[in-house]
Each structure stands twice: as structure tokens, then as C-alpha cells.
Amino acid sequence: MEFRSFLIKYGEIGVKGKNRWKFEDVLIRQVKTALRKVDGTFDIVRQHGRIYVDTDGSADYEDTIEALKHVFGLVSICPVVRFENRDYEFVKEQVVRYMKEVYGTQQKTFKVFTRRIDKDYPGTSETISAELGAVILDACPNLTVNVREPEIPLHVEIRNEAVSIYSLTIPGPGGMPVGTNGRAMLLLSGGIDSPVAGYMIAKRGVLIEATYFHAPPYTSDRAKQKVIDLAKLVAKYAGPVNLHIINFTEIQLAIYEKCPHEELTIIMRRYMMRIAEEMAKKTGAMALITGESIGQVASQTVDSLVCTNDVCTLPVFRPLIGFDKQEIVERSEQIGTYETSIEPYEDCCTIFVAKHPVTHPDLERIRESEKKLADVIDEMVARAVETQERILCTAD
């Protein structure tokens, strides 16, 4: 069966009235962006509260579906057969042709659901459903009717301008279209967690900006490339991601030199959050995002999170906070970041880790220790922000 049209559906909860238009506008924009990567011509049609993606037949079916599956806000994608000839006999022929081509000789149950949007069309929804059902039963001996739990819900929609038939529903990623919910700054490392965290917040409609703390020569160019690759993978869903690369070496060395070694990680994390917050404010991001999860490592115990959070004034989104590592790994496999995340390039945090980091840091003591940096740190932070390198990461 050749599909030249796709009905795209979104979850409507909470998107009523004026919000609905805004939501649909952003959704359509994101669909257009996603389809730019697919060869072919597309036309997006908004009709009677429905959104269709129409093609001229040149676009590859699988590529189109694959692109649409990356658009947050889409709950489902239904390949549709649409034709303008509304003559009843023609409709019957098309319905039979559809069932034969899509289901072949498969033994399945079906039910016809008719929507008569053109109220002048002869018959009622019930009689049309019954008659189309009878025609299908006649023509397809492998199919039977089940009105309670049909395996094939065959939708026939009769409108003034055309008739649509569909029965296939391909799940979309759900969520909200990116751009309907502000912007946030993701602290993106080369690990497994932070790309998943970015994905989850983007899924709620938030535009993603990212900051990576790079510590050359302790972290290699390859480690930086890995983060760029991860940003590009997140961009498949989130749209283009501006990645800000901060040279963190000087700050790490200063902490290493002046602060107690068991507190290195916590103090370093506090500077990461401070700088990420500055970057957020510069870029219009209203919140921070991290891949932290309670208890995963010493710097993510509740006491440690209290110390890290202490320097933040913006809200910090930690979507993985209650996830087990295995659950995060599964998510990263699903979204396609896992293979890149496990590439073995060192992370700046692993170089400067103490043998016995504090797991229950005391906030007052950490603040005290940081005072040892007082005469150099402001200048270093300013330099780190000024010398940032910005890379626009788009999906390949």
C-alpha cells in the first residue's frame, strides 16, 4: 500500500483554547524541521482540528516515519489513504483494496469506525460502517468482525473534500513539542546519564542548551568530540543544541592545590553549577538540568546534593533522581545514546577524584574550604566563561 498522507495526533490534555493554537504551531514547526532530513516534498495540512503530513509520493515511507518518531508532542502517527472521489461505490472499492493490500491473507478481526464529518453525505455513520463491514467480509475471507476488541480498527472519515482510511497506529514519542516550555541549560558530560536527562526535559517541550566542562590536557580532544556526538544525538529529538565548552582546567587545578582532597569533587561540582548558571543566564535558560540520581556516586548522596544545590539560584531539574542505573541504561539504549556514552574516553571528573571522597559532606565546612580559593577564583571563573567555545550541534 502506498501512503501519501500521515495523520499525526497529539495528546490534548491541557492544550485547550488559545494554548492549543500555540501548541499546534510549534508542533508543526518541529514536524517541518524533522522532515527536512527526509528526501521528498511535504505539505502540512491542518483540517478540522486534525494535522496531516502529505507527501507527493517521492518520500521514503520508513524515513518519514522515523523522522516523525523523533518529534516530541506526537502521540501517534497514522498512515492514511486519502482520495477525493467520494462516490460510495468507489469508497467501497478503496476500502476493500486497502484491507487486501495492508493485511493480505492475515487472519484478523476488524471493526469499521465511520466518521461522517460531511453531514450531507448519504446514510448514517452506523449504516456506512455496517455496509463497509459487509463488503470487506465478502471480499476478504481471512477477516472476521469483532466489535468489542478488533485487532484492526478501520477508520473511515468522510469529509467534504475527501475520504480518509486508516487503521495503523505507530506510537510517537509523546511529550510536548520542543519550544512550548522555555529553555534550560543541560550540564552535559560524556557519561550515560546526562544525555538521558536532557532528552527527558526536552520531551516536556523545553529547548536545550548545553555546557560541557573540558579539562585539557587531562581530557582529550576525543573526549570533547564524544560530548559533541552526544549533543548531536540529543539534537535528533531536541532540535539543534548549542554546546558551550568551558575550559575548566585552571579551576580544577586550583581546587586540587588548595582544597582538601576528599572534598574535591563536591567543590568542583559547585563550580560547575555556578558556571552553568552563568551560562544559563547569558543564553536565556531558566533552569539547569543534570543527570544526577540519588546515591549513584559519592557526589550524589543527599548530603552531597544539598552542597551542590546550595550554589544554585535557578531551579535544577534532575529527571533521573529516582532512577536506578539499569533503568537509565535502558533509556539510553532506547534513545540511541548508549553506544556513544560508553566509548572509553576519560571524563574530567575521573582525573581529579580522591581515593576517599566525602559521602556526607558538611555544607559549612565546604564553604570554609572554598574560601581558600577566594583570591583567584572569581577571575578564573570569569576567564572560563569568556573563553567558552560554542558549537551548534545538529542531528546528522
| Count of positions on this chain that bind ligand ATP (CB under 6 A) | 21
- Tell me whether residue 191 or residue 239 sits nearer to Mg ion (CB atom): 191
Indicate which of Mg ion, ligand ATP, none lies near residue 34 (CB less than 5 to 8 Å, by partner kind): none
**Shortest gap between Cβ of 39 and ligand ATP (angstroms)?**
35
**Shortest gap between Cβ of 349 and ligand ATP (angstroms)?**
4
Burial class (CB in 10 A: 0-12, 13-18, 19+), 300: buried
Which DSSP category does 336 fall into? T
- AA identity, residue 103: Y
Does residue 376 bind ligand ATP (CB under 6 A)?
A: no
The grid cell for 322 is: 529516582
Indicate which of Mg ion, ligand ATP, none lies near residue 52 (CB less than 5 to 8 Å, by partner kind): none
**Shortest gap between Cβ of 342 and Mg ion (angstroms)?**
12
Of the residues 35, 238, 349, 373, which one makes contact with ligand ATP according to CB under 6 A: 349
Residues 299/308, Cβ–Cβ less than 8 Å? yes
Does residue 299 bind ligand ATP (CB under 6 A)?
A: yes
**Shortest gap between Cβ of 295 and ligand ATP (angstroms)?**
11
> What are 154's strand-pairing partners?
112
In total, the chain counts a number of residues equal to 396
- Tell me whether residue 76 or residue 296 sits nearer to ligand ATP (CB atom): 296
Nearest residue relative to Mg ion (C-beta): 191
H or E stretch including 113? strand 108-116
**Shortest gap between Cβ of 302 and ligand ATP (angstroms)?**
14
- Tell me whether residue 128 or residue 328 sits nearer to ligand ATP (CB atom): 328
**Shortest gap between Cβ of 308 and ligand ATP (angstroms)?**
8
**Shortest gap between Cβ of 233 and ligand ATP (angstroms)?**
14
Residues 150-179 that bind ligand ATP (CB under 6 A): none
Chain center to CA of 125 = 38
Phi, psi of 176 (to 5 degrees): -125, 150
**Shortest gap between Cβ of 361 and ligand ATP (angstroms)?**
13
Residues 198-237 that bind ligand ATP (CB under 6 A): 211-213
Torsion of CA 366, 371, 376, 377, to 10 degrees: 40
Does residue 192 bind ligand ATP (CB under 6 A)?
A: yes
Stretch that binds ligand ATP, among 123-131, 140-148, 347-355, 383-391 (CB under 6 A): 347-355
| Residue-wise DSSP of 29-90 | HHHHHHHTTSSS-EEEEEETTEEEEEE-S-S-HHHHHHHHTT-TTEEEEEEEEEES---HHH
Stretch that binds ligand ATP, among 3-11, 122-130, 176-184, 343-351 (CB under 6 A): 343-351
Exposure letters 34-64 (e unless 16+ CB within 10 A, then b)? bbeebeeebebeeeeeebbbebeeebeeeeb
Q: Is the dihedral of CA 121, 122, 125, 129 positive or negative?
A: negative
Q: Mark residue 83 as left, alpha or beta (left: phi above 0; alpha: psi -120 to 50; beta: remaining).
A: beta
Q: Which residues bind Mg ion (CB under 5 A)?
A: 189, 191
**Shortest gap between Cβ of 178 and ligand ATP (angstroms)?**
19
Three-state SS for 329?
helix
Would you tell me how many other CB atoms lie within 10 Å of the CB of residue 161?
11
Does residue 191 bind ligand ATP (CB under 6 A)?
A: yes
- Tell me whether residue 33 or residue 299 sits nearer to ligand ATP (CB atom): 299
Phi, psi of 213 (to 5 degrees): -95, 115
- Tell me whether residue 82 or residue 226 sits nearer to ligand ATP (CB atom): 226
Of the residues 8, 77, 188, 235, which one makes contact with ligand ATP according to CB under 6 A: 188
Of the residues 5, 33, 129, 189, which one makes contact with ligand ATP according to CB under 6 A: 189
Question: Binding pattern to ligand ATP, positions 277-296, x when CB under 6 A?
Answer: -------------xxx---x
Would you tell me how many other CB atoms lie within 10 Å of the CB of residue 386?
7
**Shortest gap between Cβ of 193 and ligand ATP (angstroms)?**
3
What residue ranges bind ligand ATP (CB under 6 A)?
187-189, 191-194, 211-213, 272, 290-292, 296-297, 299-300, 347-349
